[in-house]
Homo-oligomer: A and B are copies of this chain.
Amino acid sequence: MSQESFGNPDFQPPEVILEAVLYCDDLEAAGAFYEKVIGLTLSSCEPDRHRFYQMKYGMLLLFRASATRSQAIEVNGRLIPKHGTTGSGHLAFAVDIESQNAMRERLACAGIKLESEIKWPSGGESIYCRDPAGNSIEFATPELWY
């Protein structure tokens, strides 16, 4: 099965992730973590459904899964598809080493323990903590991948 099987041979695959998602049952607790500790700026909020954050490229969307799994929101006569997970998700932020050190200090001041820190064989360093919903949040220097 080649890519050419599916329509236009000039097709260009998507290059950019516009929305990355985490699920947090307690959005107020999540907001305290992502805004006060991580330092993100809230772009949009529905207290019982979501908190959204604009990043340099795209958005970080926090949803309360019990809302997005059950409530069908209609926009211009069409429904936003339902979604929602349980369990610990994962997301990594890119940071340089100075910002990683500042984040380490910031997490310590907020009483949030590092769960692990890894020096990758390929280069790059990651530190890991949990958000209030139990998602595994990583702050990694991009040398990990590039």
Q: Contact partner of A55 among B3, B16, B61, B136, CB < 8 A?
A: B16
Main secondary structure of the interface of A (DSSP, over half): mixed
How many residues on A have C-beta within 8 angstroms of the other chain's C-beta atoms?
Answer: 85
Q: Are B11 and A102 in contact (CB under 8 A)?
A: yes
Q: Are B76 and A116 in contact (CB under 8 A)?
A: no
The answer to whether residues A3 and B85 also contact, given A58-B94, A116-B80 and a CB cut-off of 8 A, is no
Convert A42-81 into 0s and 1s, putting 1 for each residue whose CB lies closer than 8 angstroms to a CB of B.
0000000000001111111101010011000001101111
Q: Are A1 and B32 in contact (CB under 8 A)?
A: yes
The answer to whether residues A19 and B90 also contact, given A11-B102, A14-B95, A39-B13 and a CB cut-off of 8 A, is yes
